[in-house]
């Protein structure tokens, strides 16, 4: 397959580099097309070592969230949320919802990733969209 290559070295370096460019790229398996997250040397579904870094839409649905009121990390000042988002491409990522919080349940709310500096590097966070809530489909 053109543009395909075996992933070598530290698995998540290209993902962080993609966020420096204002988007999220994840490994997409060259053999079964599954998106892979967290980055890994082989596909957890078919064990292929071949993948292509592919941009995701950045759109997803909130599966769960928690608000931390206690300080565990110097770079996370409470209160802050930790939000599980299932990307439209399938992988589940943990990010932080910023901006307005949902009224009522957070579950099923549509979000879109945005990027900004946190703790010295560009990281993703989520922003609510105007899209209607949907039932999330956990695939893992």
Torsion on CA atoms 118, 19, 67, 93, rounded to nearest 10: -150
Report in angstroms how near the CB of residue 28 gets to Zn ion at its nearest.
9
Among 46, 66, 94, 134, binds Zn ion (CB under 5 A): 46
52 makes contact with Zn ion (CB under 5 A) = no
Report in angstroms how near the CB of residue 137 gets to Zn ion at its nearest.
19
Considering only residues 97-126, where is the footprint of Zn ion by CB under 5 A? none
Among 48, 82, 98, 123, binds Zn ion (CB under 5 A): 48
Residue nearer to Zn ion on the CB measure, 40 or 92: 40
6 makes contact with Zn ion (CB under 5 A) = no
123, β-bridge pairs: 116
Among 29, 56, 62, 63, binds Zn ion (CB under 5 A): 29
CA distance 60 to 50: 25
Q: Taking contact as CB under 5 A, which single stretch among the options 13-21, 48-56, 89-97, 126-134 is the one that binds Zn ion?
A: 48-56
Report in angstroms how near the CB of residue 95 gets to Zn ion at its nearest.
24
Tokens in use for 138?
């956990």
Concatenated DSSP letters of 29-85 = ETTT--EESS--SS-TTT---EEEEEE---EEEEEEEEEE-S--BTTBPSSEEEEEE
Report in angstroms how near the CB of residue 126 gets to Zn ion at its nearest.
27
Helix (H, G, I), strand (E, B) or coil at 111: strand
């Amino acid at each position: 397959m053109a543009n395909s290559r075996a992933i070598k070295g530290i698995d998540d370096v290209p993902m962080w580099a993609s966020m420096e460019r204002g988007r999220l790229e994840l490994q997409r398996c060259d053999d079964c097309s599954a998106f892979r997250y967290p980055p890994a040397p082989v596909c957890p579904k078919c064990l292929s070592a071949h993948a292509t870094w592919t941009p995701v839409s950045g759109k997803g649905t909130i599966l769960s969230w928690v608000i931390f009121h206690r300080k565990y990390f110097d770079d996370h000042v409470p209160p802050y949320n930790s939000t599980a988002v299932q990307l439209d491409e399938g992988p589940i990522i943990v990010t932080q919802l910023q901006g307005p919080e949902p009224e009522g349940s957070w579950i099923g709310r549509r979000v879109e990733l945005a990027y900004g500096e946190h703790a010295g590097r560009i990281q993703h966070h989520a922003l609510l969209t105007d899209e209607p809530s949907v039932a999330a489909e956990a695939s893992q």
